[in-house]
Amino acid sequence: MKRYSVFAIAREALRQHRGWERAWGSPEPANSYDAVIVGAGGHGLATAYYLGKNHGITNVAVLDKGWLGGGNTGRNTTIIRSNYLQDPSAAIYEKARSLYETLSQELNYNIMFSPRGVMMLAQTEHEVRGYLRTERANALQGVETRFISAQEVKRLVPIIRLDGPRYPVLGALWQPRAGTARHDAVAWGYARACASMGMHVIQNCAVTGIEAVGGQVTAVNTTKGTIGCKKLGLVVAGHSGALADMAGFRLPVESVALQALVSEPIKPIMDVVVMANTVHGYMSQSDKGEMVIGGGADHFNNYTQRGSWQHVEETVRALCETFPMLSRLKMLRQWGGIVDMTGDRSPIISKTPLEGCFINCGWGTGGFKAIPGSGWAMAELMARGNSPLAEAFSMYRFREGRFIDESVAAGVAH
């Protein structure tokens, strides 16, 4: 596959851009593969990519019931950070953040990574104490983060209101090397790299069943026929429970909608990401000028990918208190994604009771930031049978009492 470069752009400009290759093909499924990944979102494509790059396994198919990146990968608010409290969380998210820094060069595809910095506002004394604790934990983990004063917050974000009305801004946990990336481009870059290694990315191919012989996975049944496989990776976010049922085991997850919205585009007013967990809203400004706004997950189980006015009211009310100028903007569009939540709000990257079948799920509201690290760990687990990054995230930790409780530690799962 030809490399993208300034010279390639100049060359194609001279011949009316008629020489560009397709970034990935539309192959028909083969009879069998060494590995089949179900889910052509960021995590599934990253898993396939690192299977090939790190472990030399390239006879791989990535299946998706819809279009590539059409699930949560294309529906999130693009935040990337790694300042988590628990050691296993900080390790895998920092791995992902560090991989994001050079991912455009590695994939030869501009993912528009922007290390603009992420701040998490402290609006109660409890949050101040919690973030000071996280700052010290991150120092031990090698994650660059620090607690900054309210005056420093105002300097970095001039449009912010520090004095309430419900909650004043007392400071913030600040990670200067965190930021955002273009969510679609992450999926497209990984897909292009997988295709260049000879892997098959097969869209509109829904899995309808999973076959096994003697407790060992042998094939998946799909709307495009039966596909044999030696190893199977299930990476389908909110539909993980349904795929686990097909494989004959249950998962400790529940699916809910997470909603977001963007405003009309305006001139640049904010060049960092701000998360306000007490009032529960977070915001950044896109390269097109839109204010990208998100909040909490729905309080009831559902599989909807549409937004609701209740969410708009709750989230926008919270952010208008902190950023009064937002009240003058119009909403451009709104959407939802289906996220899978575990009891401790930490992911599952694990072997399953079905031999040869592996599961990657439970990222809840924080999946996008983890894509490279998640794919790295899942590929290592599938190829070698174990991964230091994934070891703590076994699905069996819930019955063994080894929780990685980020919901209590961070006060929010984002």
pLDDT digits (tens, 9 = 90+) for 150-190: 999 999 999 999 998 789 999 999 999 999 999 999 999 99
Domain with residue 230: its CATH number is 3.50.50.60
- Does 260 share its domain with 323? yes
Tell me the whole-structure pTM to 2 decimals. 0.95
DSSP secondary-structure letter at 68? Answer: T
- Does 129 share its domain with 277? yes
Residues forming beta bridges with residue 39, ordered by sequence position: none
Average per-residue pLDDT for the chain: 93
Mean pLDDT (whole number) for 57-82: 94
Give 139-149 pLDDT, tens digit per residue: 999 999 999 99
DSSP letters of 2-49? PPP-HHHHHHHHHTTT--PPPSS--PPPPSEEEEEEE--SHHHHHHHH
Round to the nearest angstrom and report the end-to-end CA distance of the chain: 37
Q: Percent of the chain scored above 90 by pLDDT? A: 81
Structural domain of residue 190, as residue ranges?
Answer: 21-82+84-96+183-252+344-410
In the chain, the number of structural domains is 2
- Does 269 share its domain with 328? yes
3-state SS class at 101:
helix
- Does 360 share its domain with 284? no
Which of 414, 412, 258 shows the shortest CA–CA distance to 338? Answer: 258
- Domain end marker among 296, 314, 341: 341
- Give the pLDDT of residue 414: 52
Residues forming beta bridges with residue 360, ordered by sequence position: 349
Asked if residue 103 belongs to a domain, the reply is no
- Give the pLDDT of residue 296: 80
- Among the residue ranges 289-298, 379-388, 391-400, the one predicted with the least confidence is 289-298
Answer for the pair 273, 313: CB distance below 8 angstroms, yes or no.
no
